[in-house]
Structures are given as structure tokens and as C-alpha cells.
């Protein structure tokens, strides 16, 4: 059974919108898309033209970067758009559900709620650094026929733990023909594990999400990728906006992936690894630390007493870290992003003062 059987029937019936830019190449005398004859900014001479919906050079560079074929990739406005497209394609309002494992990234739930899909949560184990409850995840998908999307994150935000391939393969096999497993790899570059993109060729129900937002220092670019088998990519193409990527973004994304930037990105990863080690060593020395969860991403999760007070204390001195006031699972936890050496020195100086007055 193909993934079409899992998608909303009306999406399977539908054809993708055929834009002028898709039907004809962007060459020759272009009088087919109601564009202006020339741009008004002399340096941006192509701005009057609609961008390529899936720019070939960017597609091929990202496919190379993520180790898949171009037919396995859809470029999106960040992973957020990938999450939204998947939910719209696979979940019928009032009938289907997603499964998530909180604490995790908040957008899975928002996308599901927007689509009118039920959100089924399998909470992580609070007593063991928020380890994923493998058994309950497998039981829940086995018992519930409404679940169409299983969202997993590796490394997970905000707990930093990774999904081992053993479990992923087992889940993929047990959900075959039943649900899509979406592995969000927003932080994969920081982790010791290789990407699960290698499993795509054997699993029609696997989707891997990647992004340039985190390890490529390009959150402002809004550029991400959905990786999957062509049949699934084709379903997403039917609902994606006709021109998701603005031309300045396409140009900048290509620039980001040139060799000299690739080299700088390696250095950035080394910098973050080193800053994270330094931070963890310092954190260990504070007596008010109740728990430190290092994880495998560019952040650490800590637990302290009276986290609200500490957050305010930090903010008053100009350093903003992340608390989770709306999430009971994360009461008194604080997520610290790995910033520059200077940023983290500021933070630990504030923590020293806190230690002193407490």
C-alpha cells in the first residue's frame, strides 16, 4: 500500500497548482505571468519575475548536503512549513490524529490544532531525563487507528536526547501502511548520530525534516527541507504555496552552501561544542543546580528551584534564557542556548551572583 492511502482523499484527487513559472521555463520574452517588464531596484534586476518554485540548483545542493536524491526533497520555508504541509495532507479534521512525545517542539501541536486533528501525547519519562517512552509509543500506535503522523525529534527540543536507529526501524516497520513517522532533525548536525535520511529508500512512511535555521546559523533565511520518497513529496507539492521561496532567499541559501561557508560552518560547530563543554563544567559547580541535561544539541536543559525568579534575575541583567511557564512537565526547567563565549560568560557571572545571594 502506498502513502496515498494514508493521505486525505481530496488531496490524492487533487492536482498541484500549475503556475505560469512551472509551465514555461523562465527564458525568452516572458509575457505569461502578469509580471512587470523590469524591476525598480537596479541591483535586483530579476525581482520583477516570480521565483522558481523549487529552484534546481538549490534542490541539488541541498540533496547533496543531506545525502538524498533530488526527487526525495522539497525545499520549504523552514521546517515549520514542512510540519504544516504534512499535517494538512495527512490529517482530516475531526477524524485523524497526530502523536507527539512532550516535552517537545510546540509546532506539532499547533499544526494539528489548526487542521482540526486530535493531538495524542505520550509524555517522556520525567524521572529519567525525559527519555522517550518507547514501549508506550509502540503500544499507542498499535492501538489507535486514527494516528496518521508520529512526530519524533532527534535531538529533541528541549531535552536534547536522540532517537536510536533500532527503535526508529521498529517503529517504521510497525506503522507501515498505517502512519507516517516524521523525524525532525532540526539539530542533527550537533549530534553524534548520523541522519536517518539513509533509511528513506527502505521506508515509504519515513519523513525527515532538516533546516538551515540552527546549525547553519540562518534562522532568518527561512529555508528548510522535507526528505522522503517521491510519492510522499508529490503529495506535499499539491498543497505548498506556488512560490514558497523568495528570490533573495534562494540566492542567499545558495551562497550559504558554497565551499567557503561550508568550511566556516564546521568551525561554528566546533565553537559551539567547545562553548557547551565550558558551560557544562561551570554549571556543575553551582549548588543550586538540581539537574543538568546536556543533550546532543546546541542547548542544555537545567532544573533549579524558583526558576521564575532566576529567569527574572537574568533578564534584569540583560540575559534571556528560556523558561516554560505554560508547560507543567517543564516546571522549573530552563533551556540555555549555546551562545558565544562572551554571552555564556555573562550568564555564568549572573549565576555566580545568584549563588551568592541564595
Cβ 297 vs Cβ 187: under 8 Å = yes
Of the candidate spans 56-64, 209-217, 251-259, 330-338, the one that interacts with ligand PLP by CB under 6 A turns out to be 209-217
293 sits in which H/E element: strand 289-293
- Pick the binder of ligand PLP from 140, 213, 229, 298 (CB under 6 A): 213
41: DSSP letter: S
131: DSSP letter: B
* 80 counts as binding ligand PLP under rule CB under 6 A: yes
Region of 280 (left: φ > 0; alpha: ψ -120 to 50; beta: rest) is alpha
> What is the three-class DSSP state of 322?
strand
* 275 counts as binding ligand PLP under rule CB under 6 A: no
In terms of CB distance, is 153 or 307 closer to ligand PLP? 153
Phi, psi of 289 (to 5 degrees): -75, 120
Residues 306, 313: Cα–Cα separation, whole Å = 11
- Pick the binder of ligand PLP from 1, 93, 142, 219 (CB under 6 A): 219
Q: Residue 21 CB, nearest distance to ligand PLP (Å)?
A: 24
* 105 counts as binding ligand PLP under rule CB under 6 A: yes
Residues 258, 195: Cα–Cα separation, whole Å = 21
- Pick the binder of ligand PLP from 184, 226, 300, 302 (CB under 6 A): 184
* 163 counts as binding ligand PLP under rule CB under 6 A: no
Q: Residue 85 CB, nearest distance to ligand PLP (Å)?
A: 12
The grid coordinates listed for 358 are: 541564595
- Pick the binder of ligand PLP from 140, 211, 265, 298 (CB under 6 A): 211
In terms of CB distance, is 324 or 351 closer to ligand PLP? 324
* 84 counts as binding ligand PLP under rule CB under 6 A: no
* 153 counts as binding ligand PLP under rule CB under 6 A: yes
* 218 counts as binding ligand PLP under rule CB under 6 A: no
Alpha helices by DSSP H, listed for the chain, are 9-13, 20-23, 56-66, 78-90, 107-115, 134-143, 165-175, 230-239, 247-256, 259-283, 307-316, 341-357
Q: Residue 11 CB, nearest distance to ligand PLP (Å)?
A: 22
Of the candidate spans 9-17, 31-39, 211-219, 321-329, the one that interacts with ligand PLP by CB under 6 A turns out to be 211-219
Distance of CA 16 to the CA centre of its chain: 25
Residue, CB closest to ligand PLP: 78
Q: Residue 349 CB, nearest distance to ligand PLP (Å)?
A: 27
* 157 counts as binding ligand PLP under rule CB under 6 A: yes
Peptide bond into 155 cis (omega under 30): yes
Of the candidate spans 76-84, 127-135, 143-151, 321-329, the one that interacts with ligand PLP by CB under 6 A turns out to be 76-84
* Cα–Cα distances in angstroms (integers) from residue 48 to residues 30, 36, 38, 313, in the given order: 11, 6, 6, 50
Cβ 107 vs Cβ 80: under 8 Å = yes
In terms of CB distance, is 171 or 212 closer to ligand PLP? 212
In terms of CB distance, is 174 or 296 closer to ligand PLP? 296
* 195 counts as binding ligand PLP under rule CB under 6 A: no
Q: Residue 135 CB, nearest distance to ligand PLP (Å)?
A: 23
Cβ 130 vs Cβ 124: under 8 Å = yes
Residues 194, 168: Cα–Cα separation, whole Å = 13
Q: Which residues bind ligand PLP (CB under 6 A)?
A: 78-80, 105, 153, 157, 184, 186, 211, 213-214, 219, 224
Amino acid at each position: 500500500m502506498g502513502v496515498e492511502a494514508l493521505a486525505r482523499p481530496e488531496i490524492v484527487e487533487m492536482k498541484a497548482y500549475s503556475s505560469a513559472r512551472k509551465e514555461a521555463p523562465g527564458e525568452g520574452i516572458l509575457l505569461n505571468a502578469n509580471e512587470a517588464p523590469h524591476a525598480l531596484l537596479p541591483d535586483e534586476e530579476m525581482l520583477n519575475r516570480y521565483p522558481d518554485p523549487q529552484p534546481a540548483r538549490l534542490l541539488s545542493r541541498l540533496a547533496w548536503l543531506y545525502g538524498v536524491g533530488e526527487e526525495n526533497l522539497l525545499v520549504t520555508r523552514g521546517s515549520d512549513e514542512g510540519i504544516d504541509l504534512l499535517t494538512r495532507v495527512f490529517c482530516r479534521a475531526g477524524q485523524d490524529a497526530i502523536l507527539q512525545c512532550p516535552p517537545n517542539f510546540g509546532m506539532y501541536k499547533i499544526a494539528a490544532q489548526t487542521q482540526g486533528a486530535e493531538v495524542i501525547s505520550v509524555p517522556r519519562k520525567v524521572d529519567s531525563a525525559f527519555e522517550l517512552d518507547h514501549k508506550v509509543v509502540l503500544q499507542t500506535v498499535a492501538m489507535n487507528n486514527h494516528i496518521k503522523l508520529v512526530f519524533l525529534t532527534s535531538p529533541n527540543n528541549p531535552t536534547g536526547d536522540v532517537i536510536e536507529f533500532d527503535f526508529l526501524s521498529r517503529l517504521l516497520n510497525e506503522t507501515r501502511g498505517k502512519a507516517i513517522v516524521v523525524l525532525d532533525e532540526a539539530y542533527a548536525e550537533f549530534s553524534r548520530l548520523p541522519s536517518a535520511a539513509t533509511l528513506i529508500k527502505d521506508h515509504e512512511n519515513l519523513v525527515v525534516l532538516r533546516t538551515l535555521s540552527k546549525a547553519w546559523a540562518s534562522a532568518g533565511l527561512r529555508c528548510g527541507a522535507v526528505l522522503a520518497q517521491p510519492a510522499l513529496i508529490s503529495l506535499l507539492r499539491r498543497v505548498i504555496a506556488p512560490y514558497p521561496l523568495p528570490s533573495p532567499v534562494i540566492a542567499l541559501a545558495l551562497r550559504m552552501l558554497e565551499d567557503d561557508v561550508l568550511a566556516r560552518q564546521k568551525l561554528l560547530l566546533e565553537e559551539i561544542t567547545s562553548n557547551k563543554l565550558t558551560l557544562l563544567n561551570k554549571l556543575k559547580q553551582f549548588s543550586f543546580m538540581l539537574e543538568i541535561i546536556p543533550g546532543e544539541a546546541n542547548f542544555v536543559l537545567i532544573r533549579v528551584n524558583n526558576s521564575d525568579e532566576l529567569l527574572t534575575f537574568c533578564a534584569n541583567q540583560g540575559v534571556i534564557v528560556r523558561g516554560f511557564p505554560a508547560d507543567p512537565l517543564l516546571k522549573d526547567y530552563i533551556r540555555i542556548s549555546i551562545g558565544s563565549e562572551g554571552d555564556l560568560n555573562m550568564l555564568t557571572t549572573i549565576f555566580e551572583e545568584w549563588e551568592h545571594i541564595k
